[in-house]
Structures are given as structure tokens and as C-alpha cells.
Chain A
């Protein structure tokens, strides 16, 4: 119980009667990276604002390491590093000056400020930018300053709202590596709508849609759902579906409109080899065989648009 760094209980936020976030509850333990996924306007940023005390929840509570955000905001905020969606940078200051302000405001003791700034800059790859005005930095470097600001006081919980937006692929890779690294010793919450990113950096995923949590679980569950027990086979002379079902382990065969055949198999079986052998023996003209991955996008769409989606692709398992 006490190991949770973030406890959100029944968070609800009303905007003029409309629920932007309703009844969102979750816990986060130390050393976990939580990915917050959802379409635009789903309530990701609103939830994050409530977690960081920028917005008062209409109902529910937030506890950071057991400290209530509403009763004891100063103590709770001291444990959080937050990078909002819009980077809160004072562009007229230099990187060093800005980080100095951030460190002071976050109660870094005066004698440790220099060191804290150095560490934050080093982690975010800002070493050679110290004396530059933030205004003159490129978008990617500004984003790094934003992250440096969030980690300067070595907080227990780091909350980053869309940290990789607007970065080039190399910077994105660096930032992801940084998030992974931070996730070792801190709890990290990131929001994004880039799905592969979640798979790369997060341990746990929450999908939020129209203010409600529609999925909350380990990334492995999502991956399994995505990969499933499916093979996609291309045959020049496809046999009847029954013939495929005779191959050991195959439970279902379905001819897709593209001419490929999707084969499902039991959890413990791996019929790929038997299918190849059968294809050779029966001269089906095999030209392609590959695991069939439902794209993460599809899983996402299925979860967020469950009510209106037509099940053109049955989910795995």
C-alpha cells in the first residue's frame, strides 16, 4: 500500500456540467513507467493537470507518496516534476538561469544547485547549451530544457505530457532512452498518442477515452493482444479451408479479401513448419508466411471505439 507513488482515486473533473474526466482511478508504484494513451480531447492533459495540482478535481483525490494533493499541496508538489504540454519556458533567460530558477523554486538547497543543474543538463544532453538564450534554441532543445526542469529536483514522480512532440527521430530516441533511464529509479507518467512509443518505453498502459479509463494493464497484455496466435499465409493454389484445418494445431482458417489466408492456432502450438510441409506436399504454392500482427493502432481503435467499430478484424486470443 505504501509503495504506491501515485494514487488517484475516482478523479472526476467537470467543465460546465460536461465530464472531461470521470472516475479515473489508478495506482503507480516506484520504478514504473506508465503510458497514458488516448485520442485528442480524451482527458489526458486534464488528468495530468489534476495529478500535479494545476487543476482542482471536482471529485476524487490524488495522493503522491501518501501525501494528499488537496490537503497538503506544497509537500505533494515537492515530490513531482511536471512538464506540461506547452513547455513553460522563460525564453528571455539562458538555460543555466532558467534551471537555476527551477531548482530554487523546487527547494533544491542552495549549495546543491550547481550540481543539480549540471546533472540535469548532462542527462538531457544540454551541456554545451548552458549560456544560450532559451529563445534561440531549436524546438528539440527547448523540449530538453523542459524535461531538465522537471527532473532537476530529483522528484519521486515525473509527469511528462507528450514529451516527444515535435522532435526529430534521433532526439525522440534520446528522449525515450532518457525516460527509460528515469523509470529505473523514479515513477514516470507520460502521455502520448504515438503508439509504438508506449510499447517502447512503458511498463504499463492506460487508455483513456472520453474521460473514462478503457484499458489499464501491463504492456505485455497489450502486446499479446496485438501479436496473438495468428499466421498470415499466401498460397497460389489455396485449398479448401478444411484442408488447412487438418494441419496440427490450426484451429481456424479464413480467406481474406486480399487472397491471403489467416490461420489461427492454439496457444501452445506453433504450426508454421507443419503448414510449410503440408504446402509443399500438396503443392499449394506457398509464397509467403508471416506472423499476423494486429497493429497497435487497431488495438487502440478497438478499445476506444468499441461501440461503433465493425469487427472486421476479430481481436486476438
Chain B
């Protein structure tokens, strides 16, 4: 049943040109960066004399691409997530889902998976693009996998938060802006506590938990953080929708 809600979301994304445009624009941006990364790699490495200055091509190019990806997703996810629930409220299609024999949790998780499924296409594309380096070089697949998992968890967290904000309002734009501001605040939170890295507030920052992945490290603590983040916001969304039913 969850899968049917997710299918419906994906269908809606691809029914309008928006889904395709976003996919192609983002891939264009990543592709350009990938190309620049390779060019820079040769420029930088030819100047790097000492072995300590040298890094692998995977890490060098990967850092550029994944760094950009995490930044672009900060804009792309609110744009995509903002209409998930608010649009349904505005066009009064919510009763269609609620009258169907599915629970609110299934609706919310289905919508979440629909969006994450769409974004997964991008993550897979990025990984495939970087893997093409393997034709010329011997690359570090572990690094790409760790980054892909990290990026996936990051965008899933973004999506969960976007879904929650979308459930708060009837105006997709309001939801989009709220999501963006909140995500941006969470991203840069650790900058404010740069002097005191052990601060509890700093460990709330999404970026901080993404960092270990971008270094190629899969840390169960960070996975738990993202998982909790996602579950929290999905639960809040379910509760918000349930309040509609109870309070009308």
C-alpha cells in the first residue's frame, strides 16, 4: 500500500515537465562540476611535488561533486517537497487519500518514499558518473559508496523535514521557504559552535554528520542520527495530519 502512494507521487512528479527539468538541470550542474574536477585534478596534481600533497582522483573529484550535491539539494529538496501535502490540501484532494483504505502512516511514508525515490535517481546517476573514472584510473569505490549513502541519508532527512513543513500549510511556497530556512539553519549550525566542537547544539547540525560520510567513513552514530531525524519528522507529519481528522 505504501508503494502505491509512492508510485502516485512519482507519477505526479513526472506528469509535469518539472520532474524532468529538475533532473536534467541538476545532472547538468553535477556533470559540469565533474568535468571541472577532472581538469583541476591534473592542474593541481602536476603542481603537487611532495607525496603528502597528492590525493586520489576519486577523492579529489568526489569531493567537488558531492560537496556541490549536498549544497544544491538544500535548494532542490524544498522545491520538490513543498507541494507534497500543501498542494493536496489546497486542491482538496486529501480526502481522496484519507478515504482510501490506507492509514495516515502509510500515506506519509508513501509520500516520503516517493520523493526520496525521485532523489535516489540523482544519487545513483552521480555514483555512476563518478564510476566512469574507473575506465582511466583505479578508483576507490568505497569512497563513492560511503558518499552515496551519506548523500542519500542527507536528502532523506531534508525530505522528511520538507514533508513536515508541507503538512503545516496550504501554501506550497510558504512550506518551501520554511523548509529552506530551517534546513539552512541546521546545515550551518556547527559553524556557530566552531570554537566548541563538543557542544550539544553543534552535533544537531546536519552537515556535521554528513562530514564523516564525505570523508569515506560510514559511522553508525551518524546513521542513527539521520534515521532519528527522519523518523521524528515523519511522526510529526502523521500527527499533524491526524489532528486534521480530530479537530477538522
Residue A53 at the B interface, CB < 8 A? yes
**Of B12, B92, B100, which is within 8 A of A105 by CB?**
B100
List the one stretch of B1-9, B200-208, B219-227 in contact with chain A: B1-9
Binary A-proximity of B1-31 (CB < 8 A = 1, otherwise 0):
1001101100110011000000000000000
Residue B95 at the A interface, CB < 8 A? yes
Taking CB atoms and an 8 Å cut-off, the chain A residues in 91-109 that contact chain B are 91-93, 97, 101-102, 104-107
**Are A55 and B245 CB-contacts (below 8 A) given A74-B102, A77-B100, A78-B101?**
yes
For B102, the chain A residues whose CB sits under 8 A away are 74, 105
For A104, the chain B residues whose CB sits under 8 A away are 4, 7-8
**Are A52 and B99 CB-contacts (below 8 A) given A86-B92, A93-B12, A104-B7?**
yes
Taking CB atoms and an 8 Å cut-off, the chain A residues in 38-93 that contact chain B are 46, 49, 52-56, 73-75, 77-78, 80, 82, 84, 86-93
Question: Are A92 and B16 in touch, CB under 8 angstroms?
Answer: yes
Residue A15 at the B interface, CB < 8 A? yes
| A to B CB contacts below 8 Å, 18 in the list | A13-B248, A52-B95, A54-B95, A54-B99, A55-B245, A55-B248, A56-B246, A74-B102, A77-B100, A88-B96, A93-B11, A93-B12, A101-B7, A104-B4, A104-B8, A105-B97, A105-B102, A107-B1
Residue B93 at the A interface, CB < 8 A? yes
Residue B103 at the A interface, CB < 8 A? yes
- Considering the complex, give the chain A residue whose CB is closest to the CB of B97: A105
Question: Bound state CA distance, A80 and B102, in angstroms?
Answer: 13
Question: Are A88 and B101 in touch, CB under 8 angstroms?
Answer: no
- Considering the complex, give the chain A residue whose CB is closest to the CB of B94: A88
Question: Bound state CA distance, A102 and B245, in angstroms?
Answer: 21
Question: Are B248 and A15 in touch, CB under 8 angstroms?
Answer: yes
Closest chain-A Cβ to B118's Cβ sits at a distance in Å of: 15
Residue B188 at the A interface, CB < 8 A? no
| A-B interface contact total, Cβ < 8 Å | 80
Among all A-B residue pairs, the 8 with the closest Cβ atoms = A88-B96, A86-B92, A78-B101, A105-B100, A88-B93, A104-B4, A82-B99, A77-B101
**Are A97 and B101 CB-contacts (below 8 A) given A89-B93, A91-B91, A105-B4?**
no
Residue B98 at the A interface, CB < 8 A? yes
For A149, the chain B residues whose CB sits under 8 A away are 96
Taking CB atoms and an 8 Å cut-off, the chain B residues in 177-234 that contact chain A are none
Question: Are B15 and A93 in touch, CB under 8 angstroms?
Answer: yes
**Are A54 and B93 CB-contacts (below 8 A) given A92-B15, A93-B11, A101-B8?**
no
Question: Are B4 and A97 in touch, CB under 8 angstroms?
Answer: no
Binary B-proximity of A89-131 (CB < 8 A = 1, otherwise 0):
1111100010001101111000000000000000000000000
Question: Bound state CA distance, A104 and B110, in angstroms?
Answer: 13
**Are A107 and B101 CB-contacts (below 8 A) given A15-B248, A84-B92?**
yes
**Are A56 and B245 CB-contacts (below 8 A) given A74-B103, A88-B93, A105-B102?**
yes
- Considering the complex, give the chain B residue whose CB is closest to the CB of A14: B248
Question: Bound state CA distance, A15 and B92, in angstroms?
Answer: 20
Question: Are A90 and B93 in touch, CB under 8 angstroms?
Answer: yes
Known: A54-B95, A55-B245, A101-B7. 16 other contacts (CB 8 A): A13-B248, A15-B248, A49-B248, A53-B98, A53-B245, A82-B99, A88-B91, A88-B95, A91-B91, A92-B15, A93-B11, A97-B11, A102-B96, A105-B100, A105-B102, A149-B96
Of A53, A74, A88, which is in contact with the most chain B CB atoms at under 10 Å from its CB? A88
- Considering the complex, give the chain A residue whose CB is closest to the CB of B242: A56
**Of A73, A75, A82, A101, which is within 8 A of B95 by CB?**
A82
- Considering the complex, give the chain B residue whose CB is closest to the CB of A87: B92
Question: Are B95 and A105 in touch, CB under 8 angstroms?
Answer: no
Closest chain-B Cβ to A131's Cβ sits at a distance in Å of: 13
Question: Bound state CA distance, A102 and B94, in angstroms?
Answer: 13
For B1, the chain A residues whose CB sits under 8 A away are 105, 107
- Considering the complex, give the chain B residue whose CB is closest to the CB of A52: B99
Question: Bound state CA distance, A99 and B102, in angstroms?
Answer: 17
**Are A92 and B92 CB-contacts (below 8 A) given A104-B4, A105-B5?**
no
Question: Bound state CA distance, A56 and B11, in angstroms?
Answer: 31
For A56, the chain B residues whose CB sits under 8 A away are 245-246
Question: Are A80 and B99 in touch, CB under 8 angstroms?
Answer: yes
Question: Are B4 and A92 in touch, CB under 8 angstroms?
Answer: no
**Are A53 and B12 CB-contacts (below 8 A) given A15-B248, A84-B92, A101-B4?**
no
- Considering the complex, give the chain B residue whose CB is closest to the CB of A77: B101
Question: Bound state CA distance, A73 and B102, in angstroms?
Answer: 8
For A106, the chain B residues whose CB sits under 8 A away are 100-101
Question: Bound state CA distance, A104 and B10, in angstroms?
Answer: 14
Question: Bound state CA distance, A106 and B12, in angstroms?
Answer: 18
Of B1, B12, B248, which is in contact with the most chain A CB atoms at under 10 Å from its CB? B248
Question: Are A53 and B99 in touch, CB under 8 angstroms?
Answer: yes
Question: Bound state CA distance, A80 and B101, in angstroms?
Answer: 9
Question: Are B12 and A92 in touch, CB under 8 angstroms?
Answer: yes
